[in-house]
Chains A and B, each alone.
Chain A
């Protein structure tokens, strides 16, 4: 157990709807990452926070995606106007002062019908 929790664990939605996922790292995790993973692939980097500052965003993060980390604690990832191609596992990871480790949550599996 890494101490990183994600909610919900599963989300089924219809195309065009908005969805929001939440990640709760442990308090020592000043770094926070979001990844997307599709079947047969490794996690693909989406975005990175250092405390509350969003320092890097992938080209994969289209304008339909937005992530926040208010007060440098929990984080949310919102997808607007979902598309079937958004169906994937969305993983959150926390990291402390040692940049060589990330502690992953169990992920949120999104299915867009």
Chain B
């Protein structure tokens, strides 16, 4: 039973446009959410996080939105750049970071 789902295995976007990556979760006890980016042959790199007490967090070109009632969060990248092409993982925690549950990832391709 996947507690964190990323239903789009892949996404292609034109350079300069908005990329929207989605994540759904089933465990209502999750109180912290993170997005990671992963390039081939490297470990995941932390991008942005959001606490369940917020509904939006912004950092430069990256914004994460959280809809607790729908158990849904999304990562917006504006404007998208070719260097953003990577696999993006959504992760969630229910116990102050002792155990993180990751989604299966979405491969983003930003086309020049």
Which residues does A use to contact B, with CB under 8 Å?
A: 2, 4, 31, 33, 35, 40-45, 48, 55-56, 58, 91, 93, 95, 99-107
In whole Å, how far is A68's beta carbon from the nearest beta carbon of chain B? 18
Contact check, A56 vs B98: say whether CB atoms are below 8 A apart. Answer: yes
Contact check, B89 vs A42: say whether CB atoms are below 8 A apart. Answer: yes
Contact check, A104 vs B98: say whether CB atoms are below 8 A apart. Answer: no
How many of chain B's residues touch chain A, expressed as a range?
20 to 34
What residue in chain B is nearest A106 (Cβ atoms)? Answer: B43
Q: Known interface pairs A40-B104, A42-B89, A45-B100. Does A100 touch B49 (Cβ–Cβ under 8 Å)?
A: yes
Q: Known interface pairs A2-B45, A43-B89, A106-B42. Does A31 touch B99 (Cβ–Cβ under 8 Å)?
A: no
Contact check, A102 vs B100: say whether CB atoms are below 8 A apart. Answer: yes
Q: Which residues of B contact A35 (CB under 8 A)?
A: 102
What residue in chain A is nearest B32 (Cβ atoms)? Answer: A100
Q: Known interface pairs A2-B45, A42-B91, A104-B45. Does A48 touch B99 (Cβ–Cβ under 8 Å)?
A: yes
In whole Å, how far is A12's beta carbon from the nearest beta carbon of chain B? 17
Complex-state Cα separation, A32 to B25, whole angstroms: 25
Flag whether B82 is at the interface (Cβ < 8 A): no
Contact check, B101 vs A45: say whether CB atoms are below 8 A apart. Answer: yes
A sample of 27 inter-chain contacts (CB < 8 A) reads A2-B45, A40-B9, A40-B105, A41-B105, A42-B4, A42-B6, A42-B89, A42-B102, A42-B104, A43-B44, A43-B89, A43-B102, A45-B101, A58-B99, A91-B43, A91-B44, A93-B43, A99-B97, A100-B97, A101-B49, A102-B97, A103-B46, A104-B44, A105-B43, A106-B42, A106-B43, A107-B43
Q: Which residues of B contact A40 (CB under 8 A)?
A: 9, 104-105
Q: Which residues of B contact A45 (CB under 8 A)?
A: 99-102
Q: Find residues 44-69 in chain B having any chain A CB closer than 8 Å to their own CB.
A: 44-46, 49, 51
Complex-state Cα separation, A109 to B41, whole angstroms: 10
